[in-house]
Amino acid sequence: MTDPAAAVLATSSTFSWNPVADWQALTAHAFMRDALLAGTIAAVVSAVIGYFVVLRGLVFAADALTHIGFTGASGAVLLGLNPIAGLLALTISSAVGIGALQQRLRGRDVVTGMILVEALGLGVLFLRLSSGYSNQTYALLFGDILALSVQNLVVLAVAGAAALLATAAIFRPLLFASLDEEVAEARGVPVRALAIGFVVVVAIAVVAATQVIGALLAVVLIVAPAATAQRLTHRPLLGIGLAVAIALLVTWTGIALAFWLPYPVSFFITSLGAIAWLAVWVPTSRRLGAPARHAAHAHAAA
Amino acid sequence: MAMTAADRAASTTGRTEAPRQAPARPAIALRDAGVSLGNRWVWRGADASIGEGEFVVVLGPNGAGKTTLLRVLLGLIPLQEGSVDVLGHRPQRGRRQVGYVPQRRALDRDLYVRARDLVSLGVDGTRWGIALPGARRRQQRAMVEEALHAVGASAYADQPVGQLSGGEQQRLLLAQALVTRPRILLLDEPLASLDLRSQAVVSSLVSGIARERGITVVLVAHDVNPLVSVLDRVAYVARGAVTIGRPEEVITSAKLSELYDYPVEVLRDSRGRIVVVGLEDRDSHHD
């Protein structure tokens, strides 16, 4: 699967300090243009939806969805279907389940963890049963953005656009319910339906990110830019814009680095994401500090 | 535990220093109301009429159905028998005339969203889509500023809500409830987990705003002491019943001891103010 890309990469021009020449080299091949396009879609979708994933404390649930996605994709391979179809089908249907159970799953890390691991185990079984394409396994787990088909790009674009539109449509009630579920409910926000709907949107972001950096690493594109942005600004819309900017920077830089250096795209993207988050997290944690916030109950003290 | 009409008329006269006539139309009226969850009655036979502008404190042991009462008034839980009217209508979710602050521990420390945005969602949090710039947005901003100012939260309006103290968060939630200019405020344990000073500040803040705007307040509390000087009447939710009465009728050693099934003593301090002793040890571990 990686052969044509690898061949081109092996003979690709070396990095120059001329940005125009570098840009031309980077976009000279169709697979690189497709990769940049896919990376752009995945970055935008993941960052926007990731903002709410972080706000709602759904990071672990999103991670479970990536692993379920792997199972869906490997199951599709076993049945001779397009992996992205299986990926979408299984993540979205499990998202409905997770969304419906959310209230009861909150704080149930053991349940989520077991589902996550079991999904991965099943995925391994499906891959072995389908006589184990090692390339495909690798692509599913760690991503293979340089070998995306046009068909997958189209699916990615359509699903991504749908997820973004849905998020924009439910933006204010979702923010309300994320900050203050009880008041939102009393005010008439359909909090349960919103919770389920949002996890479905998360499933689409997971699929998009999986296309770029694989099931095991997808969650970094969803979490790192959003968590970084939330530390930098406390305005929701600005925060989402900033998360998108960080995600794009991380993804484009990651793809470019992999073009000139002999290491995988996924490694660069995850590392850059982690670096961006750390670079913001360390100084802001010190500034915000952790003072003793709540005085003991007055009567207990009295 | 039902009250006679005469009792009710007498008890709506309110604070001793400013007696008022019973209002023509009650803000909240429960008639022989009963609620069950599962197959157990939480309370039933509740008869109560709360006048406009009245400040009612709801007391009662844990699990007696105080929060359930608020949820009934919000239209989140239906009655199984009897009827309830809130501002002349059956309770309904999403009414802007009813402000609500639920019981909570602190907000999540990781909520990196401005205090101002939390209050703003009180205005447009139920609308679909993204807020677009325009006249409505400017008007909304003015409403938010006004609510923040009313509760004295303007100074930290741009800080992330998760990083504020319990008292500061309580003011913001109050601002969020006030931003639509409601006629009724339903507050569930707004003083819980606040220190003594914050309790006094929040209770006088609520009563000041309510009095100024003529808002009816139903406030659930486990400790009546910080509220004695601001309340008009006390409602009791205990042993499957709801009782409402003037503080001098209800806040007595005998009555409280009976309701809580625990020795409680009501004392008067040098200025004649009521002090309730004995509930604290039991209720300081209420969560």
Claim to verify: residue B39 and residue B175 sit in the same structural domain: no
Nearest-neighbour CA in chain B from A21: distance (Å): 41
* CB pair distance less than 8 Å for A172 and B125: yes
pLDDT at position A299 over 60: no
For the segment A214-233, the average pLDDT, to the nearest whole number, is 94
Mean of the per-residue pLDDT values of chain B = 85
Note down the domain range covering B125.
Answer: 106-181
Domain parsing of chain A, residue ranges: 26-301
Instruction: Indicate whether B249 pLDDT > 80.
Output: yes
- For residue A100, name the pLDDT band (cuts at 50, 70, 90): confident
Query: Which of B181, B204, B226 corresponds to the end of one domain?
Result: B181
pLDDT at A244 over 90: yes
| pTM for this predicted structure | 0.85
Q: Closest-CA residue in chain A for B279?
A: A299
Tokens describing residue A108: 């149930």
Of the candidate ranges A3-17, B87-101, B203-217, the one whose mean pLDDT is the lowest? A3-17
Q: How far B10 CA lies from chain A's nearest CA (Å)? A: 33
Query: What is the predicted pLDDT for the residue at B273?
Result: 73
Q: How many domains, in total, are found in chain B?
A: 2
Q: With a CB-CB cutoff of 8 Å, which residues 83-122 of chain B face chain A?
A: 93-94, 100-102, 104, 106-108, 110-114, 117-118, 121-122
Check residue B215 and give its pLDDT.
96
* ipTM of the complex in this document: 0.83
Mean pLDDT for the stretch of residues B211-239: 92
Q: Is the pLDDT of residue A235 over 90?
A: yes
| Residue B93 and residue B144 share a domain | no
Residue B66 lies in a domain: yes
pLDDT tens-place string over residues B31-87:
999 999 888 999 999 999 999 999 999 998 888 999 999 999 999 999 999 999 999
SS3 A18: coil
More confident residue, B287 or A240: A240
Domain boundary among B181, B198, B226: B181
pLDDT for A286 equals 61
Give pLDDT, residue A298.
32
Q: What is the average per-residue pLDDT within A161-190?
A: 94
Same structural domain, B134 and B160: yes
**Given an 8 Å threshold on Cβ–Cβ distance, is B127 in contact with A173?**
yes
Distance from the Cα of B113 to chain A's closest Cα (Å) equals 4
Give the mean model confidence (pLDDT) for residues B101-125: 88
The reply to whether B174 and B43 lie within a common domain is no
Residues of A in contact with B185 (CB under 8 A): none
Q: Which residue of A has its CA nearest to B277?
A: A299
Distance, CA of B279 to CA of A191 (rounded, Å): 36
Q: pLDDT value at position A302?
A: 32
Residue B56 near residue B218, CB atoms below 8 Å: yes
Q: Are strands B184-188 and B55-59 parallel, antiparallel or unpaired?
A: unpaired
Q: Are residues B62 and B80 in the same domain?
A: yes
Say whether pLDDT at B5 is over 90. no
- Cα(B232)–Cα(B14) distance, rounded to whole angstroms? 5
CB atoms within 10 A of CB A119: 22
Q: What is the pLDDT of residue A145?
A: 87
Same-domain check for residues B210 and B143? no
Q: What is the pLDDT of residue B105?
A: 66
Average pLDDT for chain A: 85
Fold of A26-301: ABC transporter involved in vitamin B12 uptake, BtuC (1.10.3470)
Residue A30 has pLDDT above 80, yes or no: yes
Identify all chain B residues contacting A230, using CB atoms and an 8 Å cutoff. 112
Domain assignment present for residue B175? The answer is yes
Residue B281's pLDDT is what? 53
CA distance linking residue B242 with residue A223, whole number of Å: 49
Residue B137 near chain A (CB below 8 Å): no
Any domain includes B243: yes
Beta carbons of A185 and B93 less than 8 Å apart: yes
Beta strands, E only, chain B: 26-37, 40-51, 55-59, 81-86, 98-101, 184-188, 216-220, 233-238, 241-245, 265-268, 274-277
For residue B193, tell me if it sits in a domain: yes
**Dist CA B56 CA B52 (whole Å):** 11
**Residue where a domain stops, chosen among B136, B155, B181:** B181
Q: For chain A, give the percent of residues with pLDDT over 90.
A: 48
Residue of B113, B140, B218 for testing the chain A interface, max A β-carbons within 10 Å: B113
B187 pLDDT tier (thresholds 50, 70, 90): very high
Question: Are residue B110 and residue B125 in the same domain, yes or no?
Answer: yes
- Does residue B231 belong to any structural domain of this protein? yes
CB-based contacts of B55: which residues, under 8 Å, 6+ apart? Answer: B207, B210, B216, B217, B219, B230, B231, B232, B233
Residue B264 covered by a domain:
no
> Any idea what DSSP says for residue A180?
-
CA–CA dist B99, B27 (Å, integer)? 13
Q: What is the pLDDT of residue A291?
A: 43
| pLDDT exceeds cutoff 90 at B30 | yes
Q: Is B282 a domain residue?
A: no
- What burial letters (b/e) apply to B186-224, b meaning 16+ CB within 10 Å? bbbbbbbbbbbebbbbbbebbbebbeeeebbbbbbbbbb
Percent of chain B with pLDDT over 70: 88
Closest by CA position to A123, among listed A77, A85, A80, A155: A77
Question: Which residue, A202, A210, A203, A207, is CA-closest to A226?
Answer: A202
The pLDDT of residue A151:
87
Q: Which of A56-70, A162-176, B10-24, B48-62 has the lowest mean pLDDT?
A: B10-24
Provide the CATH number for the domain around residue B225.
3.40.50.300
Structural domain contains residue B217: yes
Which pLDDT tens digit goes with each residue over A162-176?
999 999 999 999 999
3-state SS assignment for residue B131: coil
Q: Are residues B208 and B236 in the same domain?
A: yes
**Residues A53 and A222: beta-carbon distance below 8 Å:** yes
B91 & B189 share domain:
yes
Taking only residues 197 to 216 of chain B, the set having a beta carbon closer than 8 angstroms to any beta carbon of chain A reads 199
Same domain, B114 and B247: no
